[in-house]
Amino acid sequence: MRLGEARSWKALARGAAGIAALLAIWEAFALSGLFSNALTPDLGSIFATILEMLRNGSLIENTLYTLARVLIGFAIAFAIAVPLGILMGRYWFAERFFLPLVSALLPIPSVAWVPLFVLWFGIGNLATTLVVIYAAFFPLVYNAWRGVKAVNPLWLRAAEAMGAGRGAMFFKVIWPGTMPYIVTGARLAVGHAWIGVIGGELLASPRLGLGEVIFNAKEYLQSGVMITALIAIGVLGLFFERFVFQVLERVTVGKWGMVAGARGREQRRDRPLTACAAEASHSAKPALRGCGKMPECRHSGARSQAASPESINTDPRIRWLGLCSWVPDPALTGRPGMTGGFSASCQ
Amino acid sequence: MDDLKISRRSLLASSGAVVFASGFLGRAFAASAKAPLTFGFDQATSWGTIGMIGKAEKTFEKAGANVRIHTFGSGTATRNAMVAGRIDIGVLGATPFIFGAAKSDLVAIAIAMYAGKTDAVVAGIKTGIKSVKDLKGRRVASRVGSATNYVFLNKILPAYGLTQSDIHLVNTPFKDQVAALAAGSVDAFAGVEPFPSIAEVDHLGIVLVDYSRFDMLPVVLAARRPVVEREPEAVVAFLRGWLAAVKLFNDDRAKAVRVVTRIFKGQGFKISEKVIALMLSKLDVNPRYVPGIERYFENQSEIFIKEHKLAAMPQWNTLINRALLQKAMS
């Protein structure tokens, strides 16, 4: 067995052990008699309920309705919030105009809007989806804004020095630099969207949805049904984390070397210098150590379009690494948007 | 001092053990101490009338009962608190009671009232709905899990050739139904007094039909079985206080109206004594079980079994306690 496989099996076993421990604690709690069995059903009853709800299709149907509301709401929120956040981060007038609004609305829980949304838009899907949009909007806008603000000015200056145009500046420097924040914002936004959708489904009463299932089951003391719906939400959350966000992180910021801990087997043969700088800019020692040890940081010929000889030599965080030097590179001269032909040689 | 060092692991383990042990000990102490009976009822509707009078006129204390009173927003909320062991005696509609008895340890100790006349289906005045038949395809507010909802879905709609799938049912607490109707969020509601009267008086809705033609709607005074078995005398004292409140309701209606109006106004309702008087006139307050009450619960349970909401038929002959009421009345 290869080392990587052994590690992944170990990680799986650890995760399974955590779940098994939780189930064992629940079973002991359910059988202890501390609470009525109607409130704390044992694992057998819960499993039977899951099977029954899968068999009659109600679990799938309600899950799909809720998932659709989450995805639609999240997509709309993303489409509005991320450009707005970037605008706020890039232009002071946009920041001054929108920031007070964002700061005032941010602390208001999305569920608190539901009664008003119901009065304005009536019960059903529209009010519920609007709650999801509201819930997902603020983590996205806030993180996009902070992400742009956190882009290392060194990179911006370096790109400017090399004559990067607006497009290159945005797509080669700002967008990759902001991406870790946007991914984090998206993670938080999905979590908030779930909170919003369940609250919305309770109060705005659409026909179907996991929130409806939970609250209707409460009226009939169907704790097994309630727990089944909660498990469905948890499974979806796990799915999103493992198969959406981790993959997204791996193929974007991980691949670009923007996060120290991103897992990616394809980790960066041609790791751009910005990766070292990004990790260095966090000033966290483990990140710096990690960067220092990365062979791809050291191999000769690693190229950057967002650094300059001055920055390498003057930035103490990069100097601290003691890895890179700056050499003329004829291959870069004459490229569109490039005024100088230099490569960072990181030995 | 080095000997006194406690490792983090042992500190966590010992504090966990203390919390776990204190949970058991706390429950044991609570069980052994002579705690007051806890009594809960829905203060937002007419079904809590006798509880309101008992609380305001202190009839429980006068009857020698040691009672702590809690109010809730619905019968299902009261039932849930009873199932969780936080409330000993509660006023419940038949449907919440059936689920509490079938899935937990609730028993009936008396009938709080028969409330068929207090429930009604109300349509918005601008909706053009003139009959229950017209509800097809409309949004109807109802409190899921309540007896009001059960009778609406299983007796009233079928009587007009409709089923649940013909309407869009909106789970709405009783106290929010008039606001939902006024806002146009729903086209009609199946509710309990005083809300149908409020809708009519405020010219927001018209009563399509009341429930008295379809169901007697018994409202149950339920108790947790362990309390009934452990403290029968305390439950009898409570029932004496309850009966005193019933007597006041029947003998001095003007006072009852004043008490209930004050309580509703205290909750923020804009409601007149006239509406409350009308509401109270619809209550049939009689603590005795009508003959065949077991059959009534059985019929409802059969439907819930068919809907897979109940697993099996409860033994209704063991879940209706008549002895305590008889003793309290003697």
Which ipTM did the prediction report? 0.71
Contact B145 A219 (CB under 8 A): yes
Contact A174, A86 (CB under 8 A): yes
Domains of chain B: which residue ranges? 1-27, 34-114+217-329, 117-213
Contact B85 A207 (CB under 8 A): no
Partner A contacted by B309 (CB < 8 A): yes
Q: What share of chain B is helix, strand, coil (3-state, %, to 5)?
A: 55, 20, 25
Contact A221 B85 (CB under 8 A): no
AA letter at B221 = L
Confidence check: pLDDT of A347 > 50: no
Confidence check: pLDDT of A73 > 60: yes
Contact A34 B184 (CB under 8 A): no
Q: What is the mean pLDDT of residues A284-300?
A: 36
- Residues of chain B found within 8 Å of residue A207, distances taken between Cβ atoms: 168
B317 CB burial (10 A radius; 0-12, 13-18, 19+):
exposed
Confidence check: pLDDT of A249 > 60: yes
What 3-state class would DSSP assign to A333?
coil
pLDDT-derived band at A4 (thresholds 50, 70, 90) equals low
Partner A contacted by B118 (CB < 8 A): no
Contact A222 B170 (CB under 8 A): no
The tokens of B230 are what?
A: 């452990």
Query: Tell me, what's the pLDDT at A276?
Result: 42
| Topology, domain B34-114+217-329 | D-Maltodextrin-Binding Protein; domain 2 (3.40.190)
Q: Higher pLDDT residue, A268 or A77?
A: A77
Query: Tell me, what's the pLDDT at A156?
Result: 86
pLDDT-derived band at A268 (thresholds 50, 70, 90) equals very low
Query: Tell me, what's the pLDDT at A207?
Result: 77
Q: Alpha carbon of B5 to those of B12, B14, B15, B18, B19: distances in Å? A: 14, 14, 15, 19, 22
- Residues of chain A found within 8 Å of residue B184, distances taken between Cβ atoms: 122
Query: Tell me, what's the pLDDT at A77?
Result: 96
Same fold across B34-114+217-329 and B117-213: yes
- Domains, chain A, with CATH or none: 57-251 (1.10.3720.10), 274-346 (no CATH)
pLDDT-derived band at A10 (thresholds 50, 70, 90) equals confident
Contact A207 B308 (CB under 8 A): no
Strands B106-114 and B139-142: unpaired
pLDDT-derived band at A260 (thresholds 50, 70, 90) equals low
Residue in chain A nearest B146 by alpha carbon:
A219
- For residues A275 and A258, give the distance between their C-alpha atoms in angstroms, rounded to a whole number: 5
Tell me the nearest-neighbour CA distance from B304 into chain A, angstroms. 10
Tell me the nearest-neighbour CA distance from B292 into chain A, angstroms. 24
Residues 6+ apart with CB under 8 A from B237: B60, B63, B64, B65, B66
Query: Tell me, what's the pLDDT at A341?
Result: 47
- Residues of chain B found within 8 Å of residue A36, distances taken between Cβ atoms: 83-85, 103-105
Query: Tell me, what's the pLDDT at B32?
Result: 52
If one looks up domain B117-213 in CATH, what number appears? 3.40.190.10
- Residues of chain A found within 8 Å of residue B27, distances taken between Cβ atoms: 34
Partner A contacted by B308 (CB < 8 A): yes
Output Rg (C-alpha) for chain A, integer angstroms.
Answer: 25
Contact B317, B146 (CB under 8 A): no
Query: Tell me, what's the pLDDT at A297?
Result: 38
Q: What is the mean pLDDT of residues A96-114?
A: 90
Contact A35 B80 (CB under 8 A): no
Query: Tell me, what's the pLDDT at B239?
Result: 95
Query: Tell me, what's the pLDDT at A15?
Result: 78
Q: What is the mean pLDDT of residues A158-183?
A: 87
pTM: 0.71
Cis peptide bond N-terminal to A109, omega within 30:
no
Residues 6+ apart with CB under 8 A from B168: A207, B137, B138, B139, B140
Task: Please state, as a whole number, how many other Cβ atoms lie within 10 Å of the Cβ of residue A257.
Answer: 26
pLDDT-derived band at A202 (thresholds 50, 70, 90) equals confident
pLDDT-derived band at A3 (thresholds 50, 70, 90) equals low
What is the pLDDT of chain A when averaged over all its residues? Answer: 76
- pLDDT tens for chain B, 330 residues long, are 455 566 777 777 777 777 667 665 665 555 555 689 999 999 888 999 999 999 999 999 999 999 999 999 889 999 999 999 899 999 999 999 999 999 999 999 999 999 999 999 999 998 999 999 999 999 999 988 889 999 999 999 999 999 989 999 888 888 888 988 988 889 999 999 989 988 988 889 999 999 999 999 999 999 999 999 999 999 999 999 999 999 999 999 999 999 999 998 888 888 888 889 988 998 999 999 998 899 999 999 999 999 888 989 999 989 999 999 999 998
A56 CB burial (10 A radius; 0-12, 13-18, 19+):
exposed
In degrees, rounded to 5, the angle at the alpha carbon of residue B312 between the alpha carbons of residues B311 and B314 is 130
Q: What is the mean pLDDT of residues A238-242?
A: 86
What is the interface size between A and B, counted as CB pairs within 8 Å?
Answer: 62
Contact A123 B186 (CB under 8 A): yes
